[in-house]
Structure 1
Amino acid sequence: MNKPDFHTLLTHCDFDYLPDGLERKYEQYKPDDRAWLIPRDFLGGLYDRYRLPERTRRLLTEGIEAIESDPSLFAFTKFLADDMCTARIRCDEAFYTNMTPGCLKPYAEKYSFLLLLACVVPSMDSLKRRGVPESYYSEIPHQFLKVQFEKLGREDDFKVHDFPWVMNFYTCSIFLLDRFYFIPHRFHDELSMYRSRFSGKTIALYHAGGSFRRDGQLDGVNGVRDAEGAFVTEWKEDADRILANRINPMGFVEREPVSVEKSEWDAALRQGDMLLALHIPSGPGYTPDRLKSSMTLAVDFYRTYYPELRIRGFWSESWLYDPRLSLILGEAGSNIVSVQRQFYNYPIAAGDAMLRYEAFGDRNADPSAISPKTSLQKAAAAYMKSGGRFHTTSMVVLKEDIDRIGTMTYITPEDAASFRESVDSHLAGRPVQ
């Protein structure tokens, strides 16, 4: 079928926002001639499952029909849904978020949700063609469909909260395997990892040009700078060796560079490699054993159903990985600490907003202005009152090390001791550890 001109569609649709790079993708897009945006039998099943009132059903149907009755908007919406359905598996960095087409008045506010809804059936059909058993994906979209339909039934509210995150579920791109969610991730952080050919030990080296405080955190994180003690990472490489700053797996960069002999170390992770991003749903079972089980299942799942992806390991970032939590929760008896000890942790340019949100309910929360109730709130507030700050931290686990989860394969007692010595070293009168 003939494909409408891209710029003609854009002019007609009048979107307030679109991701970058769509014109190139549209050139490669092959449209279909289906006359519906969302199959009506699928829609009817949702109406019945969630017992939607007649008014809500009518509002949804009117919005869908308004899109389908506008040839230009309909054509462009099918293109957007087609791209979104495979964006996560392709690790496409295009930033999809709420989009409002001016041409859709008075239904424009419904568009983002209807676009997501249009992704569900094509995504499931794609998984079916891959041979993925339905049990892996049949309930994925309902994680957020339930919440969205409840809002619709109560308030006629079509707004989509956190579009980039929920898109993972509407496109069936994220999988719950035992305790954790997994989704492909292209690694881009400023470090490279190597494995010893003889001992199996792993080392991560930070790339040149990073500015760090004397505590090994990026200078300026949390608005804190270290004018006197900051250092800049280096990377000197020749045919035989690399001289660079080691990342201590307790989540900080060491000041003194180390030398890595190329004849003794193999590259284990580089920028551009494919990892599986791990996401942590709430609930019990946050333990090393469940971590190991989930990662094992994830490797098997992607090897079986996505053999084209060369998965090197796992990546994630969270407030839960900050080794400073071990200072307030203790070394023993804490699932948070025991899990983070299984990772190769490294610093990133994120501060404590995530911890403030998870512990105190607001990314800008002032712990001194809150009456702490939980043990975590009390300990975190006391630590911050003394001058310490927390840091969202990233981690990597290489695929070959899954079997060693539970043994602290990356972190040695010396690494932990070095952390206790360096933590908060940029603060005058730092808290005693």
Structure 2
Amino acid sequence: MDRRLSFDECINICNFDYLPEGLEDKYNQYNPNNKPHLIPRDFMSELFEQYQIPEHTRQRLIRGIEAIETDDVLFHFTKFLVEDLCSARNRCDETHYTHMTPGCMNQDGDLYSFLLLLACVVPSMEMLQKRSVPEAYYEQIPHQPLKHQLEKLVLHGDSKVDDFPWVMNFYTCSIFLLDRFYFIPYRFGDPFTMFRHVSTQEVIALRHAGEEFRSDGQRSGINDVYDSQGCFTSEWLENGECIIANRMNPMGFVERDKTTILKKEWEPVLQEGDMLLALHIPAGPGYTPDRLKNSMSLAIEFYGKYFPELPIKGFWSASWLYDTRLSLLLDNEKSNIVRVQRQFYNYPTLEGDGMLRYELFGDRKADPLAGPDTFTTSLQKAAAAYMQTGARFNTLSMIVLKEEIGQIGSMPYITDTDIEQFRRTVDSHLREVNG
């Protein structure tokens, strides 16, 4: 190109069916690179050989790459997108990338999203090499989704990228498997603040004002269940000496009665905008407190050594596995689900039981009461029986601050009193309705 085109000129020419919002400012700061290829051909040759890709699929992929490279505007804009994708996760950029197709590609446009992600692999690995990250940490990361994607393409001609935001973590080598769990940087943004007592080191989380909760301490409207009689609104009263607010019980609910803390005795340790590591749980055995502790220890060591600019405060995650209602159904001493969730500071979210329905019954909208004859596990049967009473499950989130890693296994946040209060409070909105 003789001159650099503006952002509007690029998107008008490329004619994407979707682009994330907020790219224009990034594009205006982008320094174009002069690399002649979107994806190095030796990298493609290695993939072809490793996965024994048939000739017709090889030709299709190369044809798609060349279609991008020979279109000056699309090639220029795609290289911008690659650079932004490769650094987005470490910047905790919330830009919502997903499947996109440029209308200017008359042929093989359906390959674009896959090729865009594939173009991120080599530069992402080069960035890690510059950080002196050992290759063993990342050489297999992109192959997690890549193997499945190539199989779909070869067997069915299907080029669509499933769950683009999730697999993006792997193609950009932004997520790391450290022992049992995956970790990736995450910017904390939930409406509460955590404090630590200066003497006892106890941790407390206080919910911010203005949210409506049912009498069971869950957000009003979760699973379309409301509580007109027993609902309450969170408050935050603060002066120079103290804060009065609703405590989040680490068993995963907000307490109706407010708690007072003195500022001279409590220091804030987690606030909106702080950096955490998001923890993700791959399938398989080893979901235990010991493996959790080891994985978190390795993660803090890894990021401290290779990403020292990231001020990691601890860990965050969200899962159906953290719903403390499961402790009503499972053996609290033997169940790893319960044993692991007891190591967290759990708290309510706006997500209902869709994740649990999917994981236990195969569909986010599954009706577990409709097919009890198909249940094969005791948890399926117990969860269905629980829901038959009118009760529902929730997806909860959790926090573990890095100072508590060494205490994992001995319930660093949850006390016996918290558990007792949970048992008194859980499903209280249903008891009020039923009299």
Q: Do the structures match in fold with TM over 0.5?
A: yes
Alpha-carbon distance, 1:31 to partner: 0.6
Deviations 1:129-155 (A, max 9, x none): 011110000000000100001111101
Distance 2:122 2:379 in 1: 42
Whether the 8 Å contact between 1:195 and 1:266 is mirrored in structure 2 is yes
SS in structure 2 at match of 1:333: coil
SS in structure 1 at match of 2:256: strand
In structure 2, what is the equivalent of residue 9 of structure 1?
10
Distance 2:245 2:209 in 1: 8
- Cα–Cα, structure 1 residues 318 and 167, in superposed 2: closer, same or farther, change >3 Å? same
> Structure 1 stretches of 5 or more lacking a match?
none
Distance 1:112 1:105 in 2: 15
SS in structure 2 at match of 1:192: strand
In structure 1, what is the equivalent of residue 388 of structure 2?
385
SS in structure 2 at match of 1:316: strand
Whether the 8 Å contact between 1:388 and 1:430 is mirrored in structure 2 is no
Alpha-carbon distance, 1:428 to partner: 3.4
Alpha-carbon distance, 1:232 to partner: 0.2
Deviations 1:150-175 (A, max 9, x none): 11110111000000000000000000
Distance 2:6 2:234 in 1: 49
Whether the 8 Å contact between 1:3 and 1:31 is mirrored in structure 2 is no
Deviations 1:101-134 (A, max 9, x none): 1001221111100000000000000000011110
In structure 2, what is the equivalent of residue 398 of structure 1?
401
Q: Percent identity?
A: 61
Count of aligned pairs = 431
SS in structure 2 at match of 1:324: helix
Distance 2:331 2:195 in 1: 31
Whether the 8 Å contact between 1:144 and 1:166 is mirrored in structure 2 is yes
In structure 2, what is the equivalent of residue 93 of structure 1?
94
In structure 2, what is the equivalent of residue 29 of structure 1?
30
Distance 1:132 1:4 in 2: 36
- What RMSD in Å do the two structures reach over aligned CA positions? 1.1
Alpha-carbon distance, 1:430 to partner: 8.4
2:414 alignment partner, one of 411, 415, 427 = 411
Distance 1:192 1:428 in 2: 31
Alpha-carbon distance, 1:374 to partner: 1.1
Matched residue type, 2:237: K
In structure 1, what is the equivalent of residue 68 of structure 2?
67
Alignment of 1:159-170 (within 5 A): 159-170=160-171
Alpha-carbon distance, 1:429 to partner: 7.3
Alpha-carbon distance, 1:330 to partner: 2.4
In structure 1, what is the equivalent of residue 425 of structure 2?
422
Matched residue type, 2:397: S
SS in structure 2 at match of 1:105: coil
* 1:292 pairs with 2:293: yes
SS in structure 2 at match of 1:102: coil
Deviations 1:23-43 (A, max 9, x none): 100111111111110000000
In structure 2, what is the equivalent of residue 260 of structure 1?
261
TM-score (norm 2): 0.98
SS in structure 1 at match of 2:315: strand
Alpha-carbon distance, 1:387 to partner: 1.1
> Structure 2 stretches of 5 or more lacking a match?
none
* 1:154 pairs with 2:152: no
Distance 1:393 1:113 in 2: 32
Distance 1:363 1:370 in 2: 15
Alpha-carbon distance, 1:2 to partner: 4.8
